[in-house]
Chains A and B, each alone.
Chain A
Amino acid sequence: MSNSNHRGKLCVVLSGLILSLLSVSAGAAEYMTPEYAKAEFRPKMMVLIPPRAEVIKKKVSSTEQMIEEGAVLEDATALVLKEQFDALGYQLRVLTADEVNADPELQLMVRNFNERYDADLAQVQSKPKDIRKRRFSFGDEARILAARLEADVLVVGRISASGATGGQKTMAFLLGGSSGHAALNLGIVAGDNGDLEGFFAYVNLGMSPDKIA
């Protein structure tokens, strides 16, 4: 199979994975500020920062394709989220890694924002209900990036998937097996003040879900 065919097939499978995650309501958790929950906060332009995915296999010797799968998973996530947000009536612009890396200034802004986001992500995951109290803000890094992208909102995605075996078997179990897990969390960050307005965690688990979001 050629690389592009393989990549295309993988993308279809992984898009399915993301869709399945988004549709598994039992594993979903949603946390919002009161304004966001009451739809008082209704952004016009949302920009999806290139999502970050980690595909993990249980044996270190099964690393082949993990990087490729991770990259394709990131692209697939972006595609699926675009469709989902469009369907909900939001305008979501997908910022690609190529776009970011072609512009050193933008690259730095995205890097700085991701650093800041990830620095507080553990606290968000540990006490997501605190979003209601507006405990989490990503400050100037979010504001600067949002201003540059002319975004009301930045959408940030983090995906992790783990499996026992290599290649497409991994994908099969991710879509319904029991020996691994896949998790997607989405952060909705206000562009004007950097506050975390919403945090959504979707899990499809063979492992315990309670600590993931």
Chain B
Amino acid sequence: MNIRTTLGCIAFLLILGAAKPVDAADKQAKERGVYDAVELTDKDYHLIETSAEMHDQFQRRGLRHSDRELEAWLQEVGNRLIPETTDFYQKYRFYLIRDPSPNAFALPDGQIYVHTGLISRLQNEAQLATLLAHEINHVAGHHGVLAYRSQKKKAAAGIFFSIAGAAAGGWGDLAGLMINYGLVTSIFGYSRDLEQEADVKGYELMLNAGYDVREMPMLFEILGEDFEGLHPRSKGKWSTHPDLILRGEYTSELAAGTPDEQLAELSLGDDDFRSRVRPVAVETVRDYILDDYPKSALELAQDLVEEDPEYAAGWVAAGHSYISLGARSEFADDKPLTDKEKRKQVKIRSKFTRDELQAQATQSPEAKTNIEDNLAAAEKAYLRALELDQSAVEAHAGLGEIYLRQEKYRDSARELMTYLKLRPEAPDRSIVMDDLRDISQKLKIEAGE
């Protein structure tokens, strides 16, 4: 088990024990189904101040996504859902975090963050509303404050999380920040009761805003997908909560209990939802590749081209994904891995560097065939992208890379030069120039010069 998985498991166990509400008045309010205002102590107020500072920290670290238009639209969707605010410190603001893990979280002062890796997978606005309504209820229900009151004296847990978070690196970046600042439950999830409460009350918010509540269980289905067959992307509550199936079941029951005449008035929301989030999905494919999750990348890219076969950027993303598979097969193994085998795989991942893992993959008996198949599929995807859109210049770079690997040096040089001609300021220009120099040498050798 790698450090991230360990973190997730231990965090969950600790949170289950730590994050129970302690205040009797709060409990009564919850039982009445109404959230009363919660007066903050001086110490509680530090949590709110810290939450406010987190925003600057996310900005400083470049974690917040730069698409302000999409964020403004997220705010519009959120505004339709937010209930009457009971406390002055709750100001609902919705942001996008560039992080491919499927997660979302809310800070106690009303900041709600959706990861690009989650919004990319959603099929419609109603599913997004399900997600936002859930997070809104964590804020409205003061879940962060309640959890903080309970956990603030748990020094050992805090230190453990801090050190583990720092050690996790990469994926631990966001998690590490939250952990350090007493906001651990925001990202790792609250107790089972509070999560269920946020779901059930989310149903009410969905109905009030006119969103189709039959989409609620779909969210959990999407989150239950494990493209890598390893469950390695498991730090967030949306991806690790042990009751995804259970949550799907009770939200299905809620939807089934909704009168037909009411259901008939509900909608899936904006018809353009997918076209709004598609560019973010393309970025997410790249982020999966960067993090060495090629199967997740390919699944998302394939979804993009299935939903719109004319979307050239989707084909380019598919091409990149096939290349990133390297010697690994696109197809899942016939026999799914057992939990023990998955844990072993995750341990192996944490032991070796990216380059070493890829080198190991080339030692398998199927490696040669897999490489050939992946490069062929990538070529097909890039060529399709160029058929659809001549300005899909990255397809030329991709083709150049494929032909270089296939030792078709002239073809590779042609594609790489086309790429640089069409995009002279390409960020990877120096790398492409190095490749062209190598190709030139190889062609000279071939020509016997």
Closest to B44 in A: A61
Assembled-state Cα–Cα distance A104/B68 (Å): 12
Q: Which 4 A-B residue pairings sit nearest by Cβ, starting from the closest?
A: A118-B169, A147-B430, A56-B162, A60-B182
Chain A contact residues (Cβ within 8 angstroms of B): what range?
Answer: 35 or more
Closest to B53 in A: A67
List residues of chain A with CB within 8 A of the CB of B354.
Answer: 116, 119-120, 139
Task: Evaluate whether A66 and B166 lie within 8 angstroms (CB atoms) in the complex, with A54-B180, A112-B290 already known.
Answer: no
Pick the contact of A107: B53, B62, B429 (CB < 8 A).
B62
List residues of chain B with CB within 8 A of the CB of A64.
Answer: 46, 49-50
| Most interface-central of B151, B162, B292 (chain A CB within 10 A) | B162
| Most interface-central of B3, B54, B148, B169 (chain A CB within 10 A) | B169
Q: Is the CB of A63 within 8 A of B427?
A: no
List residues of chain A with CB within 8 A of the CB of B54.
Answer: 67
List residues of chain A with CB within 8 A of the CB of B63.
Answer: 111
Pick the contact of B154: A54, A60, A97, A115 (CB < 8 A).
A60
Q: How far is the CB of B95 from chain A (nearest CB, A)?
A: 15
List residues of chain A with CB within 8 A of the CB of B443.
Answer: none
Q: Is the CB of B180 within 8 A of A56?
A: yes
Task: Evaluate whether A58 and B158 lie within 8 angstroms (CB atoms) in the complex, with A119-B291, A140-B431 already known.
Answer: yes
Q: How far is the CB of B320 from chain A (nearest CB, A)?
A: 12
Cβ of A123 within 8 Å of any chain B Cβ, yes or no, is yes
1/0 per residue, CB under 8 A from B, across A94-122: the answer is 00010011001101011110111011111
1/0 per residue, CB under 8 A from B, across A62-85: the answer is 011011101100000000000000
List residues of chain B with CB within 8 A of the CB of A15.
Answer: none
Q: Is the CB of B353 within 8 A of A61?
A: no
Q: Is the CB of A139 within 8 A of B49?
A: no
Pick the contact of A121: B66, B155, B163, B169 (CB < 8 A).
B169
Q: Is the CB of B355 within 8 A of A139?
A: yes
Cβ of A148 within 8 Å of any chain B Cβ, yes or no, is yes
Near A by CB (< 8 A), chain B positions 396-449 give 427-431
Q: Is the CB of B57 within 8 A of A71?
A: yes
Cβ of B368 within 8 Å of any chain A Cβ, yes or no, is no
Q: Is the CB of A123 within 8 A of B430?
A: no
Cβ of A137 within 8 Å of any chain B Cβ, yes or no, is yes
List residues of chain B with CB within 8 A of the CB of A57.
Answer: 158
Task: Evaluate whether A119 and B170 lie within 8 angstroms (CB atoms) in the complex, with A61-B153, A61-B182, A147-B430 already known.
Answer: yes
Q: Is the CB of A60 within 8 A of B290?
A: no
Task: Evaluate whether A101 and B60 lie within 8 angstroms (CB atoms) in the complex, with A61-B153, A68-B53 already known.
Answer: yes
List residues of chain B with CB within 8 A of the CB of A110.
Answer: 62
List residues of chain B with CB within 8 A of the CB of A97.
Answer: 60-62
List residues of chain B with CB within 8 A of the CB of A91.
Answer: none
Near B by CB (< 8 A), chain A positions 37-54 give 52, 54
Q: How far is the CB of B71 from chain A (nearest CB, A)?
A: 14
List residues of chain A with CB within 8 A of the CB of B428.
Answer: 140, 143-144, 147
Q: Is the CB of B431 within 8 A of A141?
A: no
Q: How far is the CB of B56 from chain A (nearest CB, A)?
A: 7
List residues of chain A with CB within 8 A of the CB of B350.
Answer: 122
Q: Is the CB of A136 within 8 A of B353?
A: yes
Q: Is the interface of A mostly helix, strand, loop or mixed?
A: helix
Cβ of B152 within 8 Å of any chain A Cβ, yes or no, is yes
Q: Is the CB of A116 within 8 A of B290?
A: yes
Cβ of A162 within 8 Å of any chain B Cβ, yes or no, is yes
List residues of chain A with CB within 8 A of the CB of B47.
Answer: 63
Cβ of A93 within 8 Å of any chain B Cβ, yes or no, is no
Which A residues form the contact surface with B (CB < 8 A)?
52, 54-61, 63-64, 66-68, 70-71, 97, 100-101, 104-105, 107, 109-112, 114-116, 118-123, 135-137, 139-141, 143-144, 147-148, 160, 162
A-B contact pairs, 30 of them (CB 8 A): A54-B165, A56-B158, A56-B159, A56-B162, A56-B163, A59-B152, A59-B153, A60-B154, A61-B46, A61-B182, A63-B46, A63-B47, A63-B50, A63-B181, A64-B49, A64-B50, A97-B60, A97-B62, A111-B63, A111-B98, A119-B292, A122-B167, A122-B169, A123-B351, A123-B353, A135-B353, A135-B356, A140-B431, A144-B430, A162-B163
Interface size on B, residues (CB 8 A): 56
Q: How far is the CB of A48 from chain B (nearest CB, A)?
A: 16
Q: How far is the CB of A133 from chain B (nearest CB, A)?
A: 12
Q: Is the CB of B158 within 8 A of A66?
A: no
Closest to B172 in A: A118
Cβ of B369 within 8 Å of any chain A Cβ, yes or no, is no
List residues of chain B with CB within 8 A of the CB of A115.
Answer: 170, 290-291
Assembled-state Cα–Cα distance A68/B153 (Å): 22
1/0 per residue, CB under 8 A from A, across B2-26: the answer is 0100000000000000000000000
Q: Is the CB of A118 within 8 A of B170?
A: yes
Cβ of B43 within 8 Å of any chain A Cβ, yes or no, is yes
Assembled-state Cα–Cα distance A57/B430 (Å): 44
Assembled-state Cα–Cα distance A134/B57 (Å): 34
Cβ of B173 within 8 Å of any chain A Cβ, yes or no, is yes
Cβ of B28 within 8 Å of any chain A Cβ, yes or no, is no
Pick the contact of A123: B173, B177, B352, B427 (CB < 8 A).
B352
Q: How far is the CB of A166 from chain B (nearest CB, A)?
A: 10
Assembled-state Cα–Cα distance A54/B179 (Å): 11
Q: Is the CB of A60 within 8 A of B148?
A: yes
Pick the contact of B166: A63, A144, A160 (CB < 8 A).
A160
Assembled-state Cα–Cα distance A31/B341 (Å): 35
Cβ of B59 within 8 Å of any chain A Cβ, yes or no, is yes
Closest to A180 in B: B159
Cβ of B78 within 8 Å of any chain A Cβ, yes or no, is no
Q: Is the CB of A52 within 8 A of B153?
A: no
Closest to A147 in B: B430
List residues of chain A with CB within 8 A of the CB of B46.
Answer: 61, 63-64
Q: How far is the CB of B290 from chain A (nearest CB, A)?
A: 6
